[in-house]
Amino acid sequence: NSRGEVSHRNRKAIGAALEAGIHVTISTGRSLTGALWCAEELGLTCPLMIYNGGMLADRVGNVLYSKELLPADALLAMEEGVKRGVTLCIWCGGKLYGHPLNERTADYVRFAGMEPLPAESLEALAEQGVTKVLWYGTKEEIPAFWEEMEKAPFENVHATPSQPMFLEFFHGEVSKAAALERLGVLLNIPREEMIAMGDGANDLELLAYAGLGVAMGNASPLVKKQADAVTVTNDNDGVAEVIEKYLL
């Protein structure tokens, strides 16, 4: 919900789905550390789709799939962010780096689940292999920055907002939809038998890929428009509504 908690009704509905033999997982822009508390609280055993689909990993940290940015693209995303005065949150080798370390990187800890390290050399991080570059700006400037980056000379990059103040950069082959497709192959589940729920721009491909794509009641107008159905908000147990209606 809006307080970052899993409600009793959602927990109960997800538990009932698991007992019925339905696979349930989390698809998020966060790292494994940032998603693990929720997976553990819900008793999920399915691989998690993290870094916006840039990685599939199980709960003990075994990486089943990973796709990193090309070094030149990672460096360009970081340099363009520096030019625009945003704060960089960089995921590299499972660690979080901040440039610069400030109140925004301190705030990002609530999403990341770990403390950031100082990014002493952006060039060195790019060469090591960057999973995700995140720009932490303001909700007023991020939409314009997103539009600008669509025209930037990247070789193969997928850029998408996640939170109103976040713009995230991944390899061009990375998306939540691509990760769901890989998970379907792993579990032998066709897309027609999948339900996806989401609320943000980084969920658009996910909702389009699944057999049934459901927008949360608190989703943006764009997400609602492109979804197959709309449930109630995250503060009114929208996930439970979908599970109870379609699966139980």
Alpha helices in 20-175 (DSSP H): 32-42, 71-83, 103-112, 122-128, 142-149
| pLDDT tens track for 207-245 | 999 999 999 999 999 999 999 999 999 999 999 999 999
Distance CA 173, CA 185 (A): 17
CB 241 within 8 A of CB 216: no
Cis peptide before 100 (omega within 30 of 0): yes
Distance CA 11, CA 56 (A): 23
| pLDDT tens track for 10-56 | 999 999 999 999 999 999 988 898 899 999 999 999 999 999 999 99
Residue type, 114: M
What's the whole-model pTM score?
A: 0.83
Q: For position 140, what pLDDT does the model report?
A: 97
Tokens of 186: 């792993």
CB 126 within 8 A of CB 71: yes
- Is the pLDDT reported for residue 201 higher than 90? no
Alpha carbon distance, N-terminus to C-terminus of the chain? 22
